[in-house]
Structure 1
């Protein structure tokens, strides 16, 4: 049996769907277009992934060794569609294979490329270079964490990128109360020479962040977060919220001080949140935009032209794919983004640093293929079918 066969109406692919092999007829790519002018209705960042060298030691625990040409070319794709790039974030496998040495180089290289094309760039600053064995408790530990943040902030600033203050596993480990979070973040925001973006990453993305802001109760955590934003609104460009809770996001958005943006990180409910309602809308800083960027850009262009219903229709056409890619365990969503990148020819192999390409099953990735096709996001169906055939062959699904 072959995995793909040409038919009179297009390409047919045999896929494992629902536990059995079924034929899937591929459709055509969507009517996506690059903008002729900057997108103005929303500020939108795509959180980009990284591509390792094919011959690198991409096993768990090995230092990240990136294919810089492919990694940076992907960022140019995003910029060409009018989107900003959010780099060195969880989508780039911070804390899941991308070590600080590679992260630092990624920030510097991405900044040079952004400057060359006038692309918008924001980069994550965290504390992941800390050796947890050297981490003290109490006030001394908080000081270590603050200094670690400062070191990474300096790297981002020196590169010329906007700073995104990422959530810190070290802070989640050391902090004993909401006041400890206010102490660390308050010191950093008081020192800021330009507005930064705060990133609230939920435990579904990283279980080590459970109880962030000093409370496992969402209302308690929100109270602390809101207090921080109120006290430092002048140095906060916006807040990026990744909790997959649209109702919570809208309530928080309405309560933010004037001038502070809400960048949705909700990869499930982004169509409604971005298009918005009579009370407002969310801007975007989304991992899913790294996968659906041609459609996302086209939708934002429709918003620019005043056609909200069409923009929402386009975004909703990608929603099933987004929910599948970010399905539990959500922290492995990067696998789906890398797989789609490979299918569309943006990297030479389906590989990820730290061996994370094994984070999803063959069945999951086969369904991703179908959903991407239905959303019109397989930009070269012949190439995608050929690569999917190879993937199914090597995994023993077909012969």
Structure 2
């Protein structure tokens, strides 16, 4: 063990000594990505001893990532490479911060290395690509099979929200006071609010205005209300909910596939963890694809060349295939994904997300100067429902009307 450590240290020192270009990289969600990012950087530096990857401290979430980049663009303190939510590349294009990547991508990359339209189009604006997807996720349901079996006699979960609320209510009655369920409603970018609306075939925006205020939105906000009134969902902060689920104190947890690696590590052998697909996606319904894109911010030509080599490695077939080995995310590069068939066959919890991919649709970005503020407005309004403050009677529908009006004003 000691010999291996000394060898690794020597390689790291040698690589650092040889490097003549350093690129600064910043990414969010250290609890999800630290292991993966460090491994990718190590592998990249060994293959490119003239380039050193230097990480800044993690962004807290995707909103934090975008806000910091927009501030740093003013003070000229940008990292060379930044990881942004798939719904947050648009504002960096609108402000002329992100560098178009098409100039670096060859025809061979497009035909042999996985840089097809599915890789290029999510962050394409006015015919140019300003980000490449690095890791993608889908909304799924995690559950503590031990608690579910104690409550129902079955170690499986039904596929309707109404029945899930019933299971959660039974878990609430178990000894030890576990909580029945938590829906990660306040996840970044209102992602799980959009998931409910889109699962019913609803649009989020239409002709520059809110489109989630119709029948699908009314259904969606009714589900959030019932999570409080029927399942007695606690008003937790999401980090507290993650810890509580990992400790075995929540029975059902609806969130991103991205949490799978973290949950597996925190749960260990405390209980049996299972996953199922997002419930009640009707014919024609879709789900927003989550995850992040890697964006080049470097202005210096030499830095850009080094940054592109790094970006190409981590989004290409070799680097991208490492993603599910460290996280619950999936590789968007289809060449990388095709090499993982055996991995997914052996891991049913990971396979749940892959089975959801046919439902994948755009994670809508609210355009204009108020895009980030709109996210906060939606979150604040939804909290009045999930907290129970406005969860009964016609109040949820009234919240939807008020929320839609506020968002439309900010879209003007």
Q: TM-score range by the shorter chain?
A: under 0.3
Which is higher, the Rg of structure 1 or of structure 2?
2
